Amino acid sequence: MHLDSSAHDGPTAPDGTPWWELTIVPGTRAKPFGQERRLAAWLWFNKEIGDTFTMNELREALGQDIVGKSEHLNRRLRTLRAVGWVVPSHNDDGSLKPGEYRVEVKGARYWLDEDRRAHRRFAPSARVRRLVIDRDGGRCAICGIANGESYPGEPSSKARLTIGHRVPQERLRARGATDDIDNWRTECARCNEPVRDEIPDPRQYDEVLAQVRRLSRSNKRTLLNWLQRGERTRSELDRVYDHARILTHGEKEDLITYLQNSSASSS
Residue 83's nearest CA partner among 122, 60, 116 is 116
Residue 63's nearest CA partner among 102, 31, 21, 109 is 21
Query: 63-84 pLDDT, tens per residue?
Result: 766 655 566 777 788 778 777 7
User: Residue 71: what pLDDT?
Assistant: 63
Query: 213-244 pLDDT, tens per residue?
Result: 999 999 999 999 988 887 777 788 888 887 88
Neighbours of 112 (CB within 10 A): 22
Q: Which residues lie below 8 Å from residue 222, measured CB to CB, with a gap of 6+?
A: 233
The reported pTM is 0.47
Query: 32-50 pLDDT, tens per residue?
Result: 888 889 999 999 999 999 9
Q: Which residue ranges make up each domain of the chain? A: 19-118, 126-198, 205-266
Residue 52's nearest CA partner among 98, 103, 105 is 103
Q: How far apart are CA 43 and CA 260, in angstroms?
A: 54
Query: 115-171 pLDDT, tens per residue?
Result: 877 666 556 778 888 889 998 888 898 888 888 888 877 888 888 898 888 887 667
DSSP secondary structure code for residue 247 in this structure:
S
**For the chain, how many helices (H) and strands (E)?**
11, 6
Q: How far apart are CA 12 and CA 251, in angstroms?
A: 49
Say if residues 183 and 172 touch (Cβ distance below 8 Å): yes
Paired strand residues for 102: 52
List the beta strands (DSSP E) in the chain: 52-54, 100-102, 150-151, 154-158, 161-165, 184-188
**Taking all residues of the chain, what is their mean pLDDT, rounded to a whole number?**
81
Average pLDDT over residues 97-125: 80
Q: Is 33 helix (H, G, I), strand (E, B) or coil?
A: coil
